[in-house]
């Protein structure tokens, strides 16, 4: 399986995850959604 070029490493994600807003009192996987969003932005703007 090929590594996604714009995927964040776990150590990178750990450093920035607390800077992103969270949806409190909701059911779901907010952290996973936030990580996917950040990776999509990196892909779109070719970080």
Q: Is 1 domain-assigned?
A: yes
Predicted TM-score (pTM) of this structure = 0.68
> How many domains does one find in the chain?
1
Q: Is 2 domain-assigned?
A: yes
What is the per-residue pLDDT for 28? 62
Q: Is 23 domain-assigned?
A: no
CB 6 within 8 A of CB 43: yes
Q: Over the stretch 1-47, which tens digit does the pLDDT of each residue have?
A: 556 677 899 999 999 988 887 766 666 666 678 898 899 999 998 75
What is the per-residue pLDDT for 29? 65
List CB contacts of 6: < 8 A, sequence separation 6 or more.
39, 42, 43, 46, 47
State which residues form the domain around 32. 1-18+28-47
Q: Is 4 domain-assigned?
A: yes
What tokens were used for 25? Answer: 């009192």
Q: Is 42 domain-assigned?
A: yes
What is the per-residue pLDDT for 5? 73
Q: Is 41 domain-assigned?
A: yes
What is the per-residue pLDDT for 34? 87
């Amino acid at each position: 399986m090929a590594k996604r070029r714009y995927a964040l490493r776990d150590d990178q994600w750990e450093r920035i995850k607390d800077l992103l807003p969270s949806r409190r009192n909701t059911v779901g996987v907010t952290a996973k959604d936030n990580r996917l969003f950040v990776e999509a932005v990196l892909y779109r703007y070719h970080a």
